Each structure stands twice: as structure tokens, then as C-alpha cells.
Amino acid sequence: MATGGTAPAALNVGIVPLPNFTLNAFASFIDALRLAADERDRSRPIRCRWEVMSHDGRMIPASCGVSITASSTFLSPGRFDYVVVIGGLLGHDEDKEDPVLDYLRQAASGGVALVGICTGVFAMARAGLLDGRKACVSWLHYQDMIDRFDSVEPDASRLFVADGKRITCAGGVGAARLAAWMIEQHLGRDLAQKALSIMMVENSRATATPQPQPPVAQSVRDPRVARAILLLEEKLSDPPRIDQLARTIGISRRQLERGFRDELGMSFGEFSRALRLDHGLWLVLTTDRSILDITLECGFNGQSHFATLFRKAYGLTPTEARGLPLLDRDALMQSKLRFRPRAANDSRKTHWTQ
């Protein structure tokens, strides 16, 4: 796409997709810029402009098999407010990324803000540009970051993290929220909200929305307990009883109850309630949905019952939690969500907070 223009734009972005990049993240990010750049959806690059670049100007394959054509070879990083690298399949064609890494280092030395989306974060780490910093990664690649880069602190709890002039994003539709955040910084909240609304992406109450939680079953060794957890996660609004799950799995209720205590240190009932409260906390703090609607989605009998359990777990009612300032809401999620990955201080291996 040609992005030339006569008047200077308020937001200028250089985009570098890596080979086998994720098309969803690329399209979500660039479409948010497009919708903020002009009136309605006319797509003229007026308020913001972007260039899709590759080191040789050739076509770049996405992980789904679709290819895009770069609009330019690498341009001077100084013309951009941000240089964005978007990855996809991890470990594919990394030997072809050296020119990209050199370009990222050049941009960093010139003081340009760098953005890594999806496994583009790993490219930034390989370039030595995330040492000593926090980096947002998908929960799917959390352990990969730990295994590969001891000097980087991975964060799989949020959709994106801004650490000075290093901005990292888990990918997916989170790339649209990241773009909206950037748009808000340069063009204002109204245009950021316009872009998300047209894309039908639910607007977030928090500056950096938490990632949807990964399957808790991934942390469980007993396959019978893991299957029970997956079945429960599929039916949070109408949680099955333990005897129903035991029959489905083909074991006794007593065996399944013992499995939950051995694997998670709590009874099935305690786990079910905690999991649904976690989901409720996430919905309360990151959406504008009614408390009643959240109560029903989380499988509680009534709004007052949900509020009582919520206060007992988190120290606030759902209404009080929603009324907290943005930073306090984020801190509440970071400290109270029970089923999310984090690294053990001694082993650097993933386990679950409980």
C-alpha cells in the first residue's frame, strides 16, 4: 500500500513482518492504523502513515500460506515514531533474520521506539534489545522465552507491555489493542475508540488488557484431572458436578476428588469456585458488561451470592473493584488472579499460582 502524502502525519510507523509472520496480528495492527488515519473508513493515510518493509523489498510469506508484498526496503528508522517487528512461527527461518536484527539495532541506537508483536518479541531479544527488561509474550511461548533468554523477564499476564521505548505484545487481536493505545497517545482517545469499534473489538477499561487465561489443564500431570478441568472450562456458566465429570471420564468420584487434591491442593468444589471467580474478576475489571451478566456467565446462582464470594476472595465487591483507578485495577489482577503462569524464582520453570 502506498502511504505517501504531503502534510506530515501525527503517527508514523515502520512495519517489518518476519518470514512466517502471523497474519491475524499483522492485519489487526495495521487495520487499526488505517481506520484512525482518515474519516470513516476511507483509508487515506492522513493522520498516520505506515510502511511495510523487508530487507530486499520482496514478498513475505505468512504462517497461513498467504504472502504480502513489502512497500519498501528498509528506510531510515529516524522517519518513524515506531519500528514494529511482527513474528509468527517460532524457530522457522531464524537464519534469515540477521538483516532485520541489524535494522532493529540501528533503530534502537537512533532512539526510535521498538515494538515486538507475537514472536517478533523473540527477534528483539535475539538482537539484545530486551536485556534486563520485561517482555510480553503469549502464554503459549512463555516457557520458550524462559528457556532461550535468561536476561529477559517474560510476562504472559497482559496483552502488551510498554517498558520505556521497548513495547511488546502477545499478538492476535491484542495487536489491535496495542495499535489503539499508540493511536491514543498520538491522535487522541476518540480515534482509538473509533478504530476498535469499527473492528468490533470490545473496548477495554484497562490500559493494557490481560490476556485470556491459558488452559489450566496444561499444568496438570494426571490426564484424568486435566480432562476434567477442560470440561469444566468449557461450561463455566453451567458448571458440571464432580459425579457427572467422573462418569464422563470413566473413574469414580473419589478417584477424581483425590486427583484434584493431589494435583492442585484443593477439592474439586474449591477449584471450580476459584476458577469461576477468576474469570469473573477478569470480566469485571476489563469489560463494561453488567454484573448480572458476569454472574450468569460464571455460573453463580445470583448476583448477591457472586458479590459475597467475590468480596471474600478479593476484598472488594465487583462494583467497588470496577470503580478502582486503572493502575489499581491492574495491580488487583496481578496480585489476585490465581490461575496464570509465572516463573519460579529457583527453577525458572512454569507453575501455577494457587
- For residue 301, give the DSSP letter: S
pLDDT value of position 210 = 61
pLDDT value of position 343 = 32
Are 172 and 301 members of one domain?
no
Are 191 and 225 members of one domain?
no
Distances (CA, A) of 346 to 136, 336, 339: 21, 22, 20
Predicted confidence (pLDDT) per residue in 320-333, tens digit: 999 998 778 878 88
Q: Residue 301 is part of a domain; what is its CATH number?
A: 1.10.10.60
Whether 314 maps to a domain, the answer reads yes
Are 99 and 179 members of one domain?
yes
How far apart CA 116 and CA 83 sit, in angstroms, is 9
Q: Which of 150, 169, 198 is the last residue of a domain?
A: 198
Are 177 and 230 members of one domain?
no
In the chain, the number of structural domains is: 2
Handedness of CA 262, 264, 265, 266 (dihedral sign): negative
Are 99 and 57 members of one domain?
yes
Whether 5 maps to a domain, the answer reads no
Are 152 and 262 members of one domain?
no
Are 82 and 153 members of one domain?
yes
Element (DSSP H or E) covering residue 293? helix 291-297
Which residues, at least 6 apart from 262, have a Cβ–Cβ distance to it below 8 Å? Answer: 222
Whether 161 maps to a domain, the answer reads yes
Q: Residue 178 is part of a domain; what is its CATH number?
A: 3.40.50.880
Output the nine-digit C-alpha cell for 283: 470480566
Whether 207 maps to a domain, the answer reads no
Are 124 and 18 members of one domain?
yes
Whether 208 maps to a domain, the answer reads no
Q: Which of 169, 198, 227 is the last residue of a domain?
A: 198
Are 241 and 327 members of one domain?
yes
Are 220 and 187 members of one domain?
no
pLDDT value of position 140 = 79
Comparing CA positions, the residue from 320, 314, 327, 242 lying closest to residue 279 is 314
Q: Which pLDDT tens digits describe the chain residue by residue (354 residues)?
A: 444 445 678 999 999 999 999 999 999 999 999 999 998 888 999 999 999 999 998 899 999 999 999 999 999 999 999 999 999 998 777 777 899 999 999 999 999 999 999 999 999 999 999 999 999 998 778 878 988 999 999 987 788 999 999 999 999 989 999 999 999 999 999 999 999 999 988 765 444 466 665 566 667 788 889 888 878 887 889 999 999 999 999 999 999 999 999 988 999 999 999 999 998 998 898 888 999 999 999 999 999 999 999 999 999 999 999 999 877 887 888 788 776 533 323 333 333 333
How far apart CA 102 and CA 96 sit, in angstroms, is 12
Are 40 and 75 members of one domain?
yes
pLDDT value of position 218 = 66
Distances (CA, A) of 81 to 111, 126, 128, 161, 165: 9, 22, 20, 17, 10
Whether 65 maps to a domain, the answer reads yes
How far apart CA 100 and CA 179 sit, in angstroms, is 21
Full residue range of the structural domain in which residue 192 is found: 11-198
Q: Please report, as a single letter, which amino acid is at residue 146.
A: I
Whether 311 maps to a domain, the answer reads yes
Radius of gyration (C-alpha) of the chain in whole angstroms: 22
Whether 4 maps to a domain, the answer reads no
Q: What is the pTM of this model?
A: 0.68
Are 221 and 159 members of one domain?
no
Element (DSSP H or E) covering residue 160? strand 160-163
